[in-house]
Amino acid sequence: MRTLRHTASALLAAFFCLAGLAGGGQARAENYPSRPIRMIIPWSVGGSTDMLGRLLADGMGKRLGVAIVVENKPGATGTIGYAQVARSPGDGYTLLLGTNSTFAIAPHFYHDLPYDLQRDFRPIGMIGANQQVLCVQPQAPYKTVADLVKAAKAKPGAINYASSGVGGSSHLATELLMSTTGISMMHVPYRGGAPAVQALLGGQTEVGFVDISVAEPLIHSGKLRALGTSGAKRAPLLPDLPTLAESGVSGFESLTTFGLFAPAGTSDAIVQKLNTALNESLRDPALSKQLAAQGFELTPGPAQAYVAYAAEETRKWGSLIAQRHITLP
């Protein structure tokens, strides 16, 4: 596992560094785009990633003067959608909405991926991030993160926590919490975020990390109690709620981050055109307000911004997965 982790991190770092050199002399962008573009979203219809992709497809399409058609290709932690884009030509007409759960985490679980990160993709730009909220039921005895940590240390393994499945963001966020604080809790994995939240609401589990867009209305309606958010800074959607780091879990940060990709071989000129349309969409006041209401914290910028970030995310989660001996069932 240690070798795999280092190999994946090195590959991803090399992928982003070399991507800037790929395709520079290929397809010219003077007449691009001249037909509809498709955006592959490797997650199901109706989730927060799907909503984000559809809003961006609309915003970018208006700026590029063509329709951007969304296609959902869920399955295998996003790797099915990645594989489809990897097989597509680098002509700018196939895009991928990716998350760190796939480009930084999946390689540590799937050892025979049907694509190569270094060879098959090129970043267009960073989109932003979503925080998670550590939640318990309102009647739970834990009022703060410190209360939870104290109880878990007193009775290792007695507290159970829900997750969206092994290797999912809520699972790894809890593994990071346990690793950082030295506590032990019982993992109860579900097949997706929705059933995990329902288990928490129904009292089948005691603790869980919940996506902020889902958690916020449940917190304000009194159906869940929030202990802390998962970012390095407080979430704009819940500004009065301290982060886990503020609550004594030093250095804790676990985010779901989003970015836009194209197949390798896409020319510099086309990447730049797409990056400009992406950033203009993210800076649009109406769109940014709509996404902020769902908990998205937007980070427009150049494609090269992915280089250090992606390599560090791969290293961080690979290290945790190896340390905690996490494997798929």
pLDDT in tens, 90-128: 999 999 999 988 888 888 988 888 887 778 999 999 999
> In DSSP terms, which residues pair with 217 in a beta bridge?
none
Q: Which of these, 200, 242, 15, lies nearest to 123 by C-alpha position?
A: 15
Q: Which of these, 313, 284, 314, lies nearest to 298 by C-alpha position?
A: 284
Residue 173 burial class via C-beta count within 10 angstroms: exposed 0-12, middle 13-18, buried 19 and up? buried
> In DSSP terms, which residues pair with 71 in a beta bridge?
40
Q: Is the peptide bond before 33 cis (omega within 30 degrees of 0)?
A: yes
Question: Quick one: pLDDT at residue 170?
Answer: 93
Across the chain, what does the average pLDDT equal?
A: 89
The rounded distance, in Å, linking the Cα atoms of 249 and 180 is 7
Contact in structure between 94 and 38 (CB atoms under 8 Å): yes
> In DSSP terms, which residues pair with 208 in a beta bridge?
135, 162
Residue 179 burial class via C-beta count within 10 angstroms: exposed 0-12, middle 13-18, buried 19 and up? middle
Question: Quick one: pLDDT at residue 11?
Answer: 43
Q: What does the pLDDT look like over 6-48, one tens digit per residue?
A: 444 444 544 454 444 444 434 456 799 999 999 999 988 888 8
From first to last of its 329 residues, the chain has per-residue pLDDT tens of 444 344 444 445 444 544 444 444 344 567 999 999 999 999 888 888 899 999 999 999 999 999 999 999 988 878 899 999 999 999 999 999 999 888 888 889 888 888 877 789 999 999 999 999 999 999 999 999 999 999 999 999 999 999 988 988 999 999 999 999 999 999 999 988 889 999 999 999 999 999 999 999 999 999 999 999 999 999 999 999 999 999 999 999 999 999 999 999 999 999 999 999 999 999 999 999 999 999 999 999 998 877 678 888 989 999 999 999 999 88
Question: Quick one: pLDDT at residue 10?
Answer: 46
- What is the SS3 assignment for the chain? CHHHHHHHHHHHHHHHHHHCCCCCCCCCCCCCCCCCEEEEECCCCCCHHHHHHHHHHHHHHHHHCCCEEEEECCCHHHHHHHHHHHCCCCCCCEEEEEEHHHHHHHHHCCCCCCCCHHHHEEEEEEEEEEEEEEEECCCCCCCCHHHHHHHHHHCCCCCEEEECCCCCHHHHHHHHHHHHHCCCCEEEECCCHHHHHHHHHHCCCCEEEEEHHHHHHHHHCCCCEEEEECCCCCCCCCCCCCECCCCCCCCCCCEEEEEEEEECCCCHHHHHHHHHHHHHHHCCHHHHHHHHCCCEEECCCCHHHHHHHHHHHHHHHHHHHHHHCCCCC
CA-angle at 62, arms to 56 and 125, nearest 5°? 40
